[in-house]
C-alpha cells in the first residue's frame, strides 16, 4: 500500500489564516499541543467575535461515547446555532460494521453550521475511515517538532512570556517533559508566574522541578502506577490544594503513554540506557519507573486507557456527586487497585 502524504499543521494554519474553513477535519500525528492550538483557531474562525465561553464546543472520546458524538452532530437542525464537535482518539475506535456506519452518518449528515474535528495520535489515517469517506475529510499531519525546532519553540515561548532561558536550561527542560509542546507550554506558564530571575538558568529549572515533584499531583502519579493505597490520601490532598481533576487525569495519560513507549522500545530490543535517554527518564527516577512498568505491563496498560477515557467523560459530566468518595478519580483508583488485587499485575 502506497504511503499517503498529508498537508501539515503549518499548511492548515495558513489556510485558516486566509479565513478558509472546512466542514470536517482529521488531525493525525503525535503533536498534541499544535492540535490544541488548531482547534482553537478553527473555533475563532467559526464563532467569530464571540467570547470563548460562549462557544458551543463539545468534546467526546471515540472509544467511549462515539455514538453520542454522532448524535450530537446529526441532531443539529438548520435552525441550530454554530457548533464545533471534537472527537478525540478516532484511531482507538474499534473497526466494526456498526462503527463504520456511524462514521458515514456523521460525514454524510453533517449540518451546515457544524464543524467536526477528529483526532488521532497515529501517523496515518485511522482504519475506521474508509477511502470513499476520506475524500470528504480534510486531513492534516501533526508531526512532532525536531530537536532543533523544539529549542526554537522554547526560546519563542519564553520571550513571549518576557523571560529568557539559557541553552543548558533548555536541555534540562527537555529531559523533564520531552518535545511535547503542550507540556512545555505548561512549564513555561508556571515559570512565568514563579519568583525567578528574568534569565532562567539550569539551577532555576532544577529548583523548579524539585518543587514540582514534591507537589501532591506528581506524588499521586507516582503512587497510582505502583498500586499504592496512599494514592487515595494524596489524591484528597491534591484536590484540597486546588489541583483540578482533569489536570491529574492528563498527568496519568502522559505517564501511561511514556510507559507504553518503554514497552515498545523494549520489545524492539533497545537497551535500558537507550530507553532512559529516549524517554528522558532522570537517573533518580529510573528505579521507580522500572517498578511502575512491572506493575503495568503492556496488556494492563491497554486495558487502562478505556478507564481513563471513562473518567474523563465522568469528570466533564455534571451528573456525579461532589462527595470525595464518588469522585470519578476515586472510582478510577478503586477500579485499578481491584484489578491489581485480582491478580492483574504480572
Domain 9-141: homologous superfamily in CATH: P-loop containing nucleotide triphosphate hydrolases (3.40.50.300)
Paired residues of 87 in beta bridges = 60, 118
Convert the pLDDT of each residue in 289-308 to its tens digit.
999 999 999 999 988 999 99
The residue among 87, 120, 89 whose CA lies nearest residue 106 is: 87
Most confident range (mean pLDDT) of 215-219, 233-237, 263-267, 273-277 is: 263-267
Residues sharing a CB contact under 8 Å with residue 248, sequence separation 6 or more, in sequence order: 217, 220, 221, 235, 238, 329
Residue ranges of domains in the chain: 9-141, 147-210, 216-344
Tell me how far apart the alpha carbons of residues 149 and 132 are, in angstroms, rounded to a whole number: 36
What percentage of the chain reaches a pLDDT higher than 90?
37
Q: What is the pLDDT of residue 317?
A: 62
Helices (H), the chain: 9-17, 32-47, 62-74, 97-108, 131-134, 147-160, 167-177, 181-193, 202-213, 216-224, 230-240, 245-267, 272-279, 286-295, 298-315, 328-339
Phi-psi region of 242 (alpha: psi -120 to 50; beta: other; left: phi over 0): left
Q: What is the pLDDT of residue 91?
A: 92
Q: Looking at domain 216-344, which CATH architecture does it have?
A: Up-down Bundle (1.20)
Q: Give the dihedral of Cα atoms 330, 67, 98, 94; nearest 10 deg.
A: -40
Q: What is the pLDDT of residue 265?
A: 93
**Mean pLDDT, residues 180-199 taken together:** 74
Asked if 178 contacts 154 with a C-beta cutoff of 8 angstroms, the reply is no
Q: What is the pLDDT of residue 70?
A: 94
Tell me how far apart the alpha carbons of residues 318 and 322 are, in angstroms, rounded to a whole number: 9
In angstroms, the Cα distances linking 335 to 229, 303, 329 are 12, 11, 10
In angstroms, the Cα distances linking 2 to 123, 138, 331 are 14, 19, 45
Higher pLDDT, 111 or 53: 111
Under CATH, what is the fold of the domain 147-210?
A: Helicase, Ruva Protein; domain 3 (1.10.8)
Q: To 10 degrees, what angle do helices 32-47 and 181-193 make?
A: 80
Considering only CA atoms, give the Rg of the chain.
Answer: 21
Mean pLDDT, the chain, integer: 85
> pLDDT band at residue 17, thresholds of 50, 70 and 90?
very high
Convert the pLDDT of each residue in 24-80 to its tens digit.
999 999 888 899 899 999 999 999 988 887 888 888 888 878 998 999 898 876 556
Higher pLDDT, 303 or 198: 303
Convert the pLDDT of each residue in 136-149 to its tens digit.
999 999 998 887 78
pTM for this predicted structure:
0.60
**Mean pLDDT, residues 148-157 taken together:** 89
SS3 331: helix
Q: What is the pLDDT of residue 239?
A: 82
In angstroms, the Cα distances linking 29 to 100, 184, 268, 302, 315 are 21, 18, 21, 19, 26
Amino acid at each position: 500500500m502506497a504511503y499517503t502524504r498529508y498537508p501539515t499543521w503549518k499548511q492548515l494554519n495558513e489556510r485558516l489564516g486566509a479565513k478558509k474553513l472546512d466542514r470536517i477535519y482529521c488531525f493525525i500525528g503525535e503533536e498534541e499541543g499544535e492540535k490544541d492550538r488548531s482547534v482553537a483557531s478553527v473555533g475563532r474562525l467559526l464563532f467569530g467575535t464571540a467570547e470563548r465561553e460562549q462557544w458551543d464546543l463539545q468534546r467526546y472520546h471515540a472509544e467511549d461515547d462515539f455514538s453520542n458524538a454522532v448524535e450530537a452532530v446529526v441532531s443539529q437542525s438548520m435552525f441550530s446555532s454554530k457548533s464545533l464537535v471534537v472527537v478525540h482518539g478516532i484511531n482507538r475506535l474499534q473497526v466494526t460494521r456498526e462503527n463504520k456506519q456511524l462514521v458515514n452518518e456523521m460525514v454524510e449528515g453533517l449540518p451546515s453550521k457544524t464543524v467536526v474535528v477528529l483526532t488521532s495520535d497515529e501517523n496515518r489515517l485511522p482504519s475506521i475511515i474508509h477511502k470513499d469517506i476520506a475524500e470528504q475529510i480534510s486531513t492534516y499531519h501533526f508531526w512532532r517538532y525536531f530537536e532543533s525546532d523544539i529549542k526554537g519553540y522554547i526560546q519563542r515561548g519564553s520571550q513571549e512570556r518576557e523571560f529568557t532561558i539559557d541553552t543548558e536550561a533548555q536541555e534540562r527542560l527537555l529531559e523533564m517533559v520531552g518535545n511535547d509542546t503542550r507540556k512545555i507550554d505548561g512549564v513555561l506558564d508556571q515559570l512565568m508566574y514563579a519568583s525567578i530571575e528574568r534569565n532562567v538558568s539550569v539551577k532555576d529549572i532544577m529548583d523548579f522541578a524539585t518543587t514540582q515533584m514534591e507537589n501532591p499531583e506528581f506524588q499521586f502519579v507516582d503512587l497510582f502506577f505502583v498500586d499504592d493505597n496512599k494514592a487515595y490520601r494524596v489524591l484528597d490532598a491534591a484536590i484540597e490544594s486546588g489541583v483540578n481533576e482533569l489536570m491529574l487525569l492528563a498527568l496519568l495519560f502522559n505517564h501511561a503513554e511514556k510507559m507504553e513507549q518503554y514497552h515498545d522500545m523494549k520489545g524492539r530490543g533497545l537497551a535500558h540506557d537507550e530507553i532512559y535517554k529516549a524517554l528522558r527518564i532522570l537517573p533518580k527516577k529510573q528505579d521507580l519507573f522500572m517498578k511502575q512498568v512491572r506493575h503495568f505491563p503492556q496488556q494492563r496498560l491497554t486495558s487502562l486507557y478505556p478507564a481513563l477515557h471513562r473518567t474523563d467523560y465522568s469528570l466533564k459530566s455534571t451528573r456525579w456527586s461532589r462527595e470525595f468518595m464518588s469522585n470519578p478519580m476515586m472510582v478510577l483508583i478503586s477500579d485499578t487497585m481491584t484489578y491489581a488485587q485480582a491478580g492483574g499485575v504480572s
